[in-house]
Chains A and B, each alone.
Chain A
Amino acid sequence: MKVRADLHNHSCLSPCGDLSMSPRFLAETARSRGIEMIALSDHNSARNLPAMKEVCAGLNLALIYGIEVTSLEEAHILCLFETLDEAMDMGKLIYLNLPDIKNDPKRFDQVWVDADENIDGNVGKWLGSGVNLSLDSLFIEVKQRNGLFIPAHIDRAMMSIPSQLGFLPPMDYDALESTRLPVPASAGPLPEGVPLIQNSDAHYPQNIAQRSTVYEMEAPGFQGLKTALKNRAIYP
């Protein structure tokens, strides 16, 4: 079956995410705009995933548990997991490896909420920092938790592996995300056989579902996604 998925989204937890982007608002809006499978991928934190799980269960919206990690090199990587436990465990590791820079809540909201949009807490460290884990270390940690490792927005002139390193080092990427297809030359030569995907990277309501990718899967879910990426079962 065809499944339309958007695997890169931010909620009110991300410092740059709008406060209106509760998991409920994000999930309901994405569903209404035709998204059938979604990943919530806040910067360096998994704290809104429990609420997202509860909301998606009631909406017939398949959920992938994600974190957009900023590596030591300051490249953004989408780390996607099958279970909430794996994602939360990754979140704990990331938080331990975030520099001890206190967030100023007057400047950046970093709130996690329940399924009914009540604020449960505020993350203390600033989530916009690079984490003390290199790309190689990050890859190992993601794979130890059976996750998918997908460099984010490789066509962007900032916070992408090509912008930070000047090239894409040979690694076993599960996919590469680009905001534009075909990928512009600025990303450099692309490794052969790695699927290219598009996602919204939504930080604000108007960007929800602005980009997505249609995959061929037996059923919407993490295993379906993993197989579709491996087989490059992606509709153009």
Chain B
Amino acid sequence: MTIKDLETKLGFTCLQCEYEEGAIEGAYTSDLLSDVMANAPSNSVLITIQAHKNTVAVSTLADVKVILLCNKRIPEDDMLEAGRKEGVAIFQTEKNQFEASCLIGSILNEK
């Protein structure tokens, strides 16, 4: 799966699109940032509802490449700015984390 597939194959909305396109090798679903730090695989998409800039900070430390905000959570302005600065893509979906995880799971290993 690539980052762009989140938009083209799954129809998620891109909110912060200044990122380097590339393959995504894993996914992690969590809202506790300490847990993300400890357990998220590198080069992954984080499926969360934590729509604030701390999520971007943790993503850079944990090598998460994309943040998917579920339940149509609206990010604070400084989150998008932080994402732009760090090159972390931010997407949004009205789906909940379970639904989003299942969808990503179905295409994660597609080339």
> Which residues on A are within 8 Å of B, measured CB to CB?
15, 72-74, 99, 101, 104, 107-108, 126, 128-130, 157-159
CB-CB < 8 A to A107: which residues of B? Answer: 57, 60-61
Q: Is B33 an interface residue (CB 8 A)?
A: yes
Q: A101-B61, A107-B61, A126-B61 in contact; A159/B34 too (CB < 8 A)?
A: no
**Number of A-B residue pairs having CB atoms within 8 Å of each other in the complex:** 36
Contact-size category for B? 10 to 19
Instruction: Kindly report which residue of chain B lies nearest to residue A102, judged by CB atoms.
Output: B61
CB-CB < 8 A to A128: which residues of B? Answer: 54, 57-58
- Chain A contact residues, majority secondary structure: loop
CB-CB < 8 A to A126: which residues of B? Answer: 37, 61
A104 to B54, CA, bound (A): 15
Q: Are B61 and A74 in contact (CB under 8 A)?
A: no
CB-CB < 8 A to A15: which residues of B? Answer: 57
Q: Are B37 and A129 in contact (CB under 8 A)?
A: yes
A128 to B61, CA, bound (A): 11
Least CB distance, A125 to chain B, in whole angstroms: 11
A74's partner among B33, B38, B57 (CB-CB below 8 A) is B33
Instruction: Kindly report which residue of chain A lies nearest to residue B52, judged by CB atoms.
Output: A158
A231 to B50, CA, bound (A): 37
A99's partner among B37, B50, B52 (CB-CB below 8 A) is B37
Q: Is B107 an interface residue (CB 8 A)?
A: no
A159 to B50, CA, bound (A): 10
A108 to B38, CA, bound (A): 18
Q: A99-B37, A99-B38, A130-B34 in contact; A158/B54 too (CB < 8 A)?
A: yes
13 pairs, CB–CB < 8 Å, chain A vs chain B: A72-B34, A74-B33, A99-B34, A99-B38, A107-B60, A126-B37, A128-B57, A129-B33, A129-B37, A130-B32, A157-B52, A158-B50, A159-B52
Least CB distance, A232 to chain B, in whole angstroms: 32
CB-CB < 8 A to A74: which residues of B? Answer: 32-34
